[in-house]
Structures are given as C-alpha cells and as structure tokens.
C-alpha cells in the first residue's frame, strides 16, 4: 500500500460512483464466492468496486489491505455518520441493509466511546468464558445438556438411525437455547426475538420491521432484567455499567445475539462439515482432542463473517489500485483475504503446512471479537461439535460436499442445511466431566428445559408435519 499521509485524490482518479460496478450478491456468489473474488482480483487488484443491493461500495480483497483496514482505526472509521452517501441522502430509501447499520451499538462506534463499551462487554462476558468460574461451568454444562436433549429429540422423532439436518434440527435450536440461557430470557421472549433475528439476518424486504421488533424485544428484556437481576449476561452488563439505558442495553444485546446465533451457529456447522468431509486424519485429530485445530481450519476455509461490516475512509487514501474518497464505504473481505494464505481450490486443508491461526475469522484490530467472546464462542463450538460425535457412531453427508446449499449474504456465509445420515451409538455417551465444584452450581429446573424444548419444537417444525424442519 502506498502511503500518502496528507494527499487528496487527484481529480482524474475515478470516484466510486462513476465506476461500473458488478453486483456482489448473485447466484454465482451464492454457489462459488471464491470464483467471484478471483475474478474481481484479476480485474481490479486488491480492492474492487461492487454493488450491494444497488449501492456501490469498495470490497477489499487481499490479505495485506484487509489487515490495514481492520487495524488502522484513525483512517478507517466505524461510525456510520462518516458515510458520505448516507449523509448526502443518496441511499435508496428502502435499502434493506440500512436498518442494521442504524442500530447504534459498539460495532459502529470509534475511539474512547468504543473502548468504554468494549470494556463493559469484556467485564460482563468474562465470567462465562471458561469453565473455571461457576457461570462458565454452568453455561458449558448447559450447552452439553441442550445438545444431548436435541439428539434425544432427534432419536424420538426420527429413530436411532435415520436422516437429519444438523442445521435446523441441531445447531440453530441449540444456539437459541444457549442465547435464552446466557441472556436470561424468559422463554416467551426468546421465541419472539429469535424469529425476528432470523428474518433480519436474511436481509429480506421485511428486514427493517424485523430489526425494529427485535430491538424492542431486547429493550423489554433489558427492563425485565433491571427489575429482576440474575446470573446472566444482561444483568452483568447492567452491573458493569449501571448508566446504560434500557434502549442502549437492548442495542448491545441485539448485536451480541447476532454473533451468538448466526455467526457462532455457522461456525458450528462449518466445523461439523470440516469433520464430516474430512479424511481419517481429521477424525483422528478429533478423537485426540484437537478440536480447536479443526475449528481453525473451518474458520480459514469458510469464515462465517465472510465480508466484514463497513469501515468509512476518514480522508482520501489510495488503497490497491484506486483512490478511496473520504466517506466511501469499504467492506474488508476475510473470506477473500484467506485465499492469500492458502490456495483454497478445495475448502478442505488437511495436510496444509500454513498456520491455521493466521485466519481473520475473529476479525483483527480494535474491533476484533473480544477475547471473552472468542473464548465463549470457541467453548460453544467445540462442545456442540464434540457432543455430536460423542453421540453418533456413524454420520455421513447425504449430499456431495460441493452441492451443499450456502446462504451468502452481504456479511455472513453459512450453510442453509447440513443433511446427514446418522446412526446413534449403541451406548449413550457419558456426560463429559467438567472440572468445577458442582456445589457452586444451581441445578436447572426440568420444567424450564421442557418449556424451552416445546418452544423450540414450535420453531423447528412451525406447526407442520413432524420432520419437515424449517430452513431459516
């Protein structure tokens, strides 16, 4: 990257709005984003102009440039008020992504305001991040217990051998149960807000209305926990910053819920896929307790946050072969940057010598996934994946890996379904031993779990026939 510390763009440098842009979200991108990234790199180099639902933005494609944008917060701002097209009223009025960007929460703050909210998040997430604290131990055992309950439900619905979609029948409900537990949601609230999160994340025409409803639901949850504090993230956020209003807290919860449900859920599915399509080496490494390495491989091959949310140029700057004007929107592509680490002709990387830890799956720089959230996310992913292979004596994909349907949104890339043929182990696996004083942990009421499961069954089957699981 060339350094032009105080330059302004030369007048003959093409402006974003004047360039022909290729729409990013096409059927080709859905099926094979790698081919799209390669073509854009060939034509434009490290940075390309693309269209996102009719709005031109810069997509940053190469590792070095992506890292620069993620790390240099003085130049690449998060606050949406820096976005020139928005400030000048140039965005289409019903632009479906705007509602999400207008939610003022930590991700879209800069400097000290951002650091203060980040400290609050860190303080409130820390108790849950590992099994050495009562909260962390309980959350981890709850994840394992929910996983066991969902497999038991599967066995009751479909038998000890059969077919399952590990997305709709395992991963998504599991993450909803974890969210309900972590946030301290009453079940009725969980039902409502989770359905709206999914609608919002699909970015459809009702995204704005769904965002508004989800925000209102999280605001109600904030008020509920202010009145009745518990051992949950919502209450701990309030403890860490008692000045948070219900509305502010609702917005922070909203953002955490996105990471917890969509991003973490996709990480579970991607890791399951990495194992299912893996050879004997992958399965052996799993049983040797190297699940963390498999998670890194999956994050490198298919980062769930594929193209990160916008940054806005603080001033004119040259990046790659273009001049980015002050206020232009830039999306750093972790998925494309990963292609510089490895030749991902196949997403499967057994035998690779490249460190899987160089991936940008957690982001980088001041807005990267907070340490406590990363620990928590890893804990959920490894427990959820580990439990599947504890229960299943046999599991194989029922579609060739290259025919699995993916959902490629502006930010997230995740599997729509993960269909498997499974056979449960003859013996029920024993619960994994967790090394924390049990005396510190209050037992979970059976009624609570039953209520949660029946709510989830409604979500999963939507009043339709058994087994006709909804793909959301």
Question: Which stretches of the chain bind ligand HEM, using CB under 6 A?
Answer: 106-107, 118, 121, 255-256, 259-260, 263-264, 267, 304-305, 308-309, 361-363, 367-370, 373, 376-377, 381
The candidate with the shortest Cα–Cα distance to 104, out of 216, 248, 213, is 248
Q: How far is the CB of 10 from ligand HEM (least distance, A)?
A: 30
User: How many CB atoms lie under 10 A from the CB of residue 390?
Assistant: 17
In this complex, which beta carbon is closest to ligand HEM, that of residue 106 or of residue 417? 106
Q: How far is the CB of 122 from ligand HEM (least distance, A)?
A: 9
H/E element, 49: strand 47-52
Q: How far is the CB of 155 from ligand HEM (least distance, A)?
A: 27
The candidate with the shortest Cα–Cα distance to 317, out of 331, 327, 307, 332, is 327
Q: How far is the CB of 201 from ligand HEM (least distance, A)?
A: 14
In this complex, which beta carbon is closest to ligand HEM, that of residue 300 or of residue 309? 309
In this complex, which beta carbon is closest to ligand HEM, that of residue 99 or of residue 233? 233
Q: How far is the CB of 327 from ligand HEM (least distance, A)?
A: 18
Provide DSSP, 248-275: HHHHHHHHHHHIIIIIHHHHHHHHHHHH
In this complex, which beta carbon is closest to ligand HEM, that of residue 48 or of residue 263? 263
In this complex, which beta carbon is closest to ligand HEM, that of residue 126 or of residue 141? 126
In this complex, which beta carbon is closest to ligand HEM, that of residue 200 or of residue 376? 376
In this complex, which beta carbon is closest to ligand HEM, that of residue 278 or of residue 370? 370
What letter does residue 424 receive in the DSSP assignment? E
Q: How far is the CB of 411 from ligand HEM (least distance, A)?
A: 8
Instruction: State how far the Cα of 94 lies from the Cα of 207, in Å rounded to an integer.
Output: 10
In this complex, which beta carbon is closest to ligand HEM, that of residue 9 or of residue 414? 414
Instruction: State how far the Cα of 308 lies from the Cα of 15, in Å rounded to an integer.
Output: 22
Task: Tally the residues of the chain.
Answer: 472
Q: How far is the CB of 447 from ligand HEM (least distance, A)?
A: 26
Supply φ then ψ for residue 228, to 5 degrees. -130, 75
Instruction: State how far the Cα of 85 lies from the Cα of 73, in Å rounded to an integer.
Output: 20
User: How many CB atoms lie under 10 A from the CB of residue 64?
Assistant: 12
Tokens matching residue 298: 């999956």
User: How many CB atoms lie under 10 A from the CB of residue 212?
Assistant: 14
In this complex, which beta carbon is closest to ligand HEM, that of residue 384 or of residue 424? 384
Cα distances (angstroms) measured from residue 429 to each of 137, 386, 387, 391: 19, 11, 9, 6
Q: How far is the CB of 132 from ligand HEM (least distance, A)?
A: 18
Instruction: State how far the Cα of 185 lies from the Cα of 451, in Å rounded to an integer.
Output: 13
Q: How far is the CB of 311 from ligand HEM (least distance, A)?
A: 8
Instruction: State how far the Cα of 227 lies from the Cα of 372, in Å rounded to an integer.
Output: 26
Per-residue HEC secondary structure of 123-181 comes to HHHHHHCCCCCHHHHHHHHHHHHHHHHHHHHHHHHHCCEEEEECHHHHHHHHHHHHHHH
> Strand (E) positions, 198-319?
311-313, 317-319
In this complex, which beta carbon is closest to ligand HEM, that of residue 164 or of residue 267? 267
Instruction: State how far the Cα of 277 lies from the Cα of 396, in Å rounded to an integer.
Output: 8
Q: How far is the CB of 427 from ligand HEM (least distance, A)?
A: 30
In this complex, which beta carbon is closest to ligand HEM, that of residue 58 or of residue 323? 58
Q: How far is the CB of 408 from ligand HEM (least distance, A)?
A: 16
User: In this structure, is the dihedral angle defined by the CA atoms of residues 390, 392, 394 and 398, taken in order, positive or negative?
Assistant: negative
């Amino acid at each position: 990257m060339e350094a032009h510390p105080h330059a302004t763009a030369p007048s003959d440098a093409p402006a974003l709005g004047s360039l022909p842009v290729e729409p990013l979200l096409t059927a080709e991108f859905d099926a094979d984003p790698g081919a799209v990234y390669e073509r854009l790199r060939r034509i434009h180099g490290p940075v390309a102009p693309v269209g996102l639902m009719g709005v031109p933005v810069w997509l940053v494609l190469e590792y070095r440039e992506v890292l620069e944008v993620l790390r240099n917060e003085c130049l690449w701002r998060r606050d949406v008020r820096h976005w020139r097209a928005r400030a000048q009223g140039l965005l289409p009025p019903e632009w479906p992504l705007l509602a999400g960007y207008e939610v003022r929460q930590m991700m879209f703050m800069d400097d000290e305001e951002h650091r203060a909210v980040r400290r609050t998040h860190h303080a409130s997430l820390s108790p849950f991040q590992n099994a050495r604290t009562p909260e962390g131990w309980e959350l981890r055992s709850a994840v394992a217990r929910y996983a066991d309950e969902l497999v038991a439900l599967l066995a009751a619905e479909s038998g000890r051998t059969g077919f399952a979609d590990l997305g709709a029948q395992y991963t998504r409900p599991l993450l909803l149960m974890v969210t309900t537990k972590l946030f301290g949601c009453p079940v009725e609230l969980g039902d409502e807000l989770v359905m709206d999160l999914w609608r919002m994340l699909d970015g459809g025409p009702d995204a704005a209305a769904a965002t508004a409803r989800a925000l209102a639901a999280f605001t109600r949850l904030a008020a509920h926990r202010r009145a009745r504090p518990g051992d949950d993230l919502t209450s701990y956020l309030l403890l860490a910053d008692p000045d948070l209003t219900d509305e502010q807290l609702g917005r922070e919860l909203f953002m955490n819920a996105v990471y917890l449900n969509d991003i973490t859920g996709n990480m579970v599915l991607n890791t399951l896929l990495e194992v299912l399509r893996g050879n004997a080496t992958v399965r052996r490494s799993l049983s040797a307790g190297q699940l963390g390495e498999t998670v890194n491989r999956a994050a490198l091959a298919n980062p769930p946050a594929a193209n990160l949310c916008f940054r806005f140029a603080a001033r004119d700057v040259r990046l790659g072969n273009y001049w980015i004007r002050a206020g232009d929107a830039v999306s750093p592509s972790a998925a494309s940057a990963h292609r510089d680490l490895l030749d991902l002709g196949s997403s499967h990387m057994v035998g690779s010598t490249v460190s899987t830890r160089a991936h940008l799956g957690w982001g980088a720089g001041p807005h990267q996934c907070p340490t406590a959230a990363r620990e928590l996310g890893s804990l959920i992913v490894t427990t959820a994946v580990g439990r599947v292979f504890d229960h299943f004596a046999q599991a194989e994909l029922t579609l060739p890996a290259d025919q699995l349907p993916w959902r490629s949104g502006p930010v997230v890339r995740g599997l729509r379904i993960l269909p498997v043929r499974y056979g449960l182990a003859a013996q029920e696996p024993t619960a994994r031993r967790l090394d924390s004083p049990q005396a510190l942990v209050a037992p979970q009421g059976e009624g609570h779990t039953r209520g949660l499961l029946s709510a989830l069954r409604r979500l999963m089957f939507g009043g339709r026939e058994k087994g006709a699981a909804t793909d959301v």
